[in-house]
Amino acid sequence: MDAEAFATLAHRIAGRRSLIGRMMAATAALLLAPRAAAQSSPVAPCQQVGITGGGVVRLSTGEANLVLFASRLASGDAAPNNGVVRWQDPNHEGGLLLESIGPLVYRKVEGDQAAREVSGLCRINGEMEEPFVLLASDVGAESGVKDRCRLAVGDRVGDGAGTGWGYEAEGELVGGDLVLIQD
């Protein structure tokens, strides 16, 4: 299937508002953007940088699942950052589901080429909203070291002042992968 046929299929599915359809539409847009930009204008297309991936994270209390996508314009323009963070820890007090809401902040971590920080606001178990900071490291499969992440939510972020609720977890990905996007 060529990129244009893929894009047509993706747009039909995206019309149904399914997560898979939206992901396919985004992939099609990425596939077609360089070709369309090269044909219509001598100006270089906007470049995105970021981190994506996820998988199973081994914690001291069991395993959690992570889904991560965060990006921004490579030029550093003040445009909003895009992304989604989803963290599920079934071992925390009967189960914890964290889903990012609103815009995210994505940035490189000074002094660590492999680490990126993603922060923003999240909804906990579909109810309360709390700030979060996710530190994710893509160390590269060839190094033999596993990717890692550390998550702080609520009172565990910053100075600890907040609603009285907090969560933090840290571990390595034992299934899945984190990948830097042109960064």
Residue 168: CB partners within 8 Å, gap ≥ 6? 150, 151, 152, 153, 156
User: 91-137 pLDDT, tens per residue?
Assistant: 999 999 999 998 899 999 999 999 999 999 999 999 999 999 999 99
How far is CA 124 from each of CA 14, 18, 102, rounded to the nearest angstrom?
A: 27, 22, 14
pLDDT at 22: 52
With cut-offs at 50, 70 and 90, classify the pLDDT of residue 79: low
Give me the numbers of helices (H) and strands (E) for the chain, helices first please: 2, 8
Domain residue limits, the chain: 3-40, 48-181
CB 70 within 8 A of CB 51: yes
Structure-block tokens of residue 181:
């996007």
Q: What integer is the mean pLDDT of 71-79?
A: 77
Q: What integer is the mean pLDDT of 169-178?
A: 94
Strand ranges in 79-127 using DSSP code E only, listed in sequence order: 82-89, 96-109, 112-124
pLDDT at 162: 66
User: Cα–Cα distance between 97 and 125 in angstroms, integer?
Assistant: 5
User: 55-68 pLDDT, tens per residue?
Assistant: 999 999 999 999 99
Q: Rounded mean pLDDT of the chain? A: 80
